[in-house]
Structure 1
Amino acid sequence: MAASRNASAVPAGPRRVSFSRIQEPLEVPDLLALQTESFDWLLGNEKWKARVEAARQAGRKDVPTQSGLEEIFEEISPIEDFSGTMSLSFRDHRFEPPKYSVDECKDKDMTYSAPMFVTAEFINNTTGEIKSQTVFMGDFPLMTPKGTFIINGTERVVTSQLVRSPGVYFERTVDKTSDKDLYGCKVIPSRGAWLEFEIDKRDSVGVRIDRKRKQAVTVLLKALGWTNDQILERFGQYESMRATLEKDHTAGQDDALLDIYRKLRPGEPPTKESAQTLLENLYFNPKRYDLAKVGRYKINKKLGVDAEITQGTLTEDDIVATIEYIVRLHAGEESMPGAGREVIVEVDDIDHFGNRR
């Protein structure tokens, strides 16, 4: 009997009764809904599916089509070997009812959880043979209706930490020796390597790839396929970019790729293919780099680009727009053209809660 009970069957706490004479002006909202509904989305249970269906019938377009676990399994699948001949994929997760109720877990010092099973597909890419099997992934901790977890019989609450949200941030500092304004920019992903731009006291625009040594930003543009003429056509009106290009001695795309490779992998013999692969894996490979939807939304809004919200990697337009933003900021301009709108050029307040999540 106990094995068939699940989280939804556990009775809620005591009903709130008000004895006040003055009627409350505002109804007290369900303050636990943020936690419980988020966990429902992670599991993809019936409660979440019902809310999604109701939102669709109401005409909402911002409805998630996948649960959290489905997104995770899609992100890591397929897992391939080095040669690419074998791959392993996970899909169609499901849960069985918890073995013990919340009260039983408290009494027996156990964890309130449910067994999770997924369908694993082992694919031979050479022959096309597919072997599918349902496998046990482990016991998945469940959230109680009160928004808590029962871990080894103890009721615990998961508290979220305020961290800097993925996105692009611009800052201004003052050089202590020259008293000049220095500008910097960080492109922060949810997962992957940082990309940082800065304009120093000599008005030279530099870039740090994966927090390594600084090099001219024109080297990065050349590595993306830009020529000197294209750089001057786009940024020639800015003294900082002209000065940076004059100091850049790389001849073309191949030379720029090798220069980046030497900075990131000193001591290793560089080749064009390995340098190209390194740069692509850092910022353009969805398995190694992810802005998350919030990061993509913030970049689109800040830079005025029009990429799909599902575009988790950086694009060439993102990088070019970031460079244009920081050089316009350095030049004292207040706006720049974006995708269908004018973009305000200003520094960000790093400590603002709007830049944290």
Structure 2
Amino acid sequence: MLQEVNARMSTIPGFNQIQFEGFDRFIDQGLPEELYKFPKIEDTDQEIEFQLFVETYQLVEPVLKEKDAVYKSLTYSSELYVSAGLIWKTGREMQEQTILLGNIPLMNSLGTFIVNGIYRIVINQILQSPGIYYRSDLDHNGISVYTGTIISDWGGRSELEIDRKARIWARVSRKQKISILVLSSAMGSNLKEILDNVCYPEILLSFLNDKEKQNFGSKKNAILEFYQQFACVGGDPVFSESLCKELQKKFFQQKCELGRIGRRNMNRRLNLDIPQNNTFLLPRDILAATDHLIGMKFGMGTLDDMNHLKNKRIRSVADLLQDQFGLALVRLEHVVRGTIYGAIRHKLIPTPHNLVTSTPLTTTYESFFGLHPLSQVLDRTNPLTQIVHARKLSYLGPGGLTGRTASFRIRDIHPSHYGRICPIDTSEGINVGLIGSLAIHARIGFWGSLESPFYQISERVTGLQLLFLSPSEDEYYMVSAVNSLALNQGIQEEQVVPARYRQEFLTIAWEQAHLRSIFPFQYFSIGASLIPFIEHNDANRALMSSNMQRQAVPLSKSEKCIVGTGLERQAALDSGVLAIVELRERLFIPILIRSFYQVMGILTAFH
């Protein structure tokens, strides 16, 4: 009976698991996704075509071991091989060869990388999730100005706003803004499509002035006006294909690419059903966002909390490595294209081996691990620092915030952090609140959000059912903070319990609770969880204690702590500094029995 009850208990996950899952996601999904984006390369006469066959890519097991890489100051990496084909369209012949794209650094058993003999760790970054967010600000006259901010997957921002004269503008840069209808026309919508896809057509048409009514409906005029405003060009530009390509490159590719996460957020916020494979901003998105903005003006709808974790996403090691891999493939494309042109110019016969070089991929990753702010040298002061370093979360870095511009609201603790980001463990000084630490049970979900586990309280379900919920899901439930042991099943629960509901802390009856936390230390990081009696300590003192633990020098002869919290064993095991002996059960049992008889013999002889 005891074993059946304890089987339903939640075990603490490995502290390095979040790094392992991120690297596995990069190998299984990120690599083929970027390889599929590699285009077919043709020469100017379109006689030769080069392409990669992604289905046959393979990573070779490294010959160099981890210890040898550290000793010889080399990189622990694996060679990536892909089949490439060179097609001559005139003779309809194809030459296929297996080529080496380059070396990809591998993650070791500690969740780190060995680059030039140095242990390095990649920090997880918190960014604003792509999508649309509405806010309200007061102007100098005290009038509310409603704004909708569209954030792209690359961090570019475009704003929709209603001014004091009740006109709707699209601000494509800090200084330039353009009518929302001109933007919709430039993106390919005509008058009928615009009026059919909005809920307030009369209000939208009332915002037009006489000049816009004359030019409205002409895509050519809309593109010219949009280009003139966006590029700040004087005079009258001439419509051409090069003008459209420049506008597409400078604006639509940088500020209109939502990605799969942005498309999901946009559909959920605007109640759209656009397919997930449409990752770019569409005219339908602009019109739906305009409808919501007009509704905000008339008191309908809710504003967004930019600091809520449901509006954030985690940029993990998988995303960072995938971005660098895509950058390396872009550089490789330029190299292959230039080599093809040079071979044709000198009348040489190219082969896939001659066209491809491993330099772009290798140098890109060397530059990333050596220069990127989120790639840091592993802190190995003591076993705890290694684990804490791998579980850090940073608002800083490319695309993020800076220590001098981050406001107090961003640094402060948010109710959505509970169970996901530790409210105690953070850096001291100028980066306070900007560098945090993951809670013990937190994990990164499929959509880049932080998920926390809860036990479901239901009369229909017997036993304990474990649920992992994102920040946008658990706020609709009453989450009780009461914990009970697995052996405490027969004891009646308390009648009144503290609970969290919609970012508020309440006191409710036990029957009203939907979920409950699974572990008393669920809200804290591993560093804060190792502090005994932390519930009786001041928050500032606990912050200093968690930071001072990482400054402690390990003993030459290890000793067991006198007072502990029970997590010391797993922290020591996951740190990788202990020598762990693995014994099979059939070998371990005779040794145990022999030791038992030896002890019994000694006791018998003593008596």
Q: Normalized against structure 1, the TM-score is what?
A: 0.72
Q: CA deviation at 1:349?
A: 1.4
Q: Which has the higher helix share?
A: 2
5+ residue gaps, structure 1, are: 1-22, 45-66, 334-344
Q: Which amino acid aligns with 1:263?
A: Q
Q: Which amino acid aligns with 1:69?
A: L
Contact kept, 8 Å, 1:193 with 1:283, in 2: the verdict is no
Q: CA deviation at 1:282?
A: 6.3
Task: State the distance in 1 between where 2:122 and 2:161 align.
Answer: 38
Q: CA deviation at 1:228?
A: 4.7
Q: CA deviation at 1:210?
A: 6.2
Q: Aligned with 1:218: secondary structure?
A: helix
Q: Deviations over 1:178-217 (max 9, x none)?
A: 2111122222222486433122222211113466720111
5+ residue gaps, structure 2, are: 1-6, 314-607
Whether 1:271 and 2:239 are equivalent positions in the alignment is yes
Task: State the distance in 2 between where 1:164 and 1:281 align.
Answer: 23
Q: CA deviation at 1:121?
A: 3.0
Instruction: Name the structure 2 match of 1:56.
Output: none
Aligned partner (choices 267, 270, 279) of residue 303 of structure 1? 270
Shift in alpha-carbon separation, 1:192–1:134, aligned structure 2, 3 A:
farther
Q: How does 1:180-259 map to 2 (within 5 A)?
A: 180-191=143-154, 194-209=157-172, 213-228=176-191, 231=194, 234=198, 236=200, 239=203, 242-246=206-210, 248=212, 249-251=214-216, 252-259=218-225
Shift in alpha-carbon separation, 1:240–1:32, aligned structure 2, 3 A:
same
Structure exhibiting the larger radius of gyration computed from Cα positions = 2
Shift in alpha-carbon separation, 1:26–1:279, aligned structure 2, 3 A:
same
Aligned partner (choices 295, 310, 315) of residue 354 of structure 1? 310
Instruction: Name the structure 1 match of 2:38.
Output: 76
Q: Which amino acid aligns with 1:34?
A: I
Task: State the distance in 2 between where 1:188 and 1:127 align.
Answer: 49
Whether 1:154 and 2:118 are equivalent positions in the alignment is yes
Task: State the distance in 1 between where 2:97 and 2:175 align.
Answer: 44
Whether 1:261 and 2:227 are equivalent positions in the alignment is yes
Task: State the distance in 1 between where 2:287 and 2:47 align.
Answer: 37
Q: Aligned with 2:170: secondary structure?
A: strand
Q: Deviations over 1:63-107 (max 9, x none)?
A: xxxx21000111233355678765543323211121211111122
Shift in alpha-carbon separation, 1:198–1:103, aligned structure 2, 3 A:
same
Task: State the distance in 2 between where 1:259 and 1:84 align.
Answer: 36
Aligned partner (choices 16, 21, 24) of residue 40 of structure 1? 24
Q: CA deviation at 1:25?
A: 6.1
Task: Report which stretch shifted further, 132-141 or 187-196.
Answer: 187-196
Shift in alpha-carbon separation, 1:24–1:318, aligned structure 2, 3 A:
closer
Task: State the distance in 2 between where 1:296 and 1:205 align.
Answer: 23
Instruction: Name the structure 2 match of 1:103.
Output: 67
Q: CA deviation at 1:270?
A: 2.5
Whether 1:167 and 2:134 are equivalent positions in the alignment is no
Shift in alpha-carbon separation, 1:159–1:227, aligned structure 2, 3 A:
closer
Q: How does 1:281-300 map to 2 (within 5 A)?
A: 290-300=257-267
Task: State the distance in 2 between where 1:128 and 1:280 align.
Answer: 35
Q: CA deviation at 1:150?
A: 1.0
Shift in alpha-carbon separation, 1:310–1:227, aligned structure 2, 3 A:
closer
Q: Aligned with 1:296: secondary structure?
A: helix
Contact kept, 8 Å, 1:257 with 1:275, in 2: the verdict is no
Contact kept, 8 Å, 2:152 with 2:255, in 1: the verdict is no
Q: How does 1:14-33 map to 2 (within 5 A)?
A: 26-33=10-17
Contact kept, 8 Å, 1:212 with 1:264, in 2: the verdict is no
Q: Which amino acid aligns with 2:238?
A: P
Instruction: Name the structure 1 match of 2:80.
Output: 116
Task: State the distance in 2 between where 1:223 and 1:126 align.
Answer: 40
The alignment of Structure 1 onto Structure 2 pairs a total of residues equal to: 301
Q: Aligned with 1:76: secondary structure?
A: coil
Q: Deviations over 1:109-162 (max 9, x none)?
A: 221111112222344567755443222122210001221111122212110121
Contact kept, 8 Å, 1:283 with 1:314, in 2: the verdict is no
CA RMSD of aligned residues (A): 3.4
Q: CA deviation at 1:299?
A: 1.0
Aligned partner (choices 301, 311, 314) of residue 281 of structure 2? 314
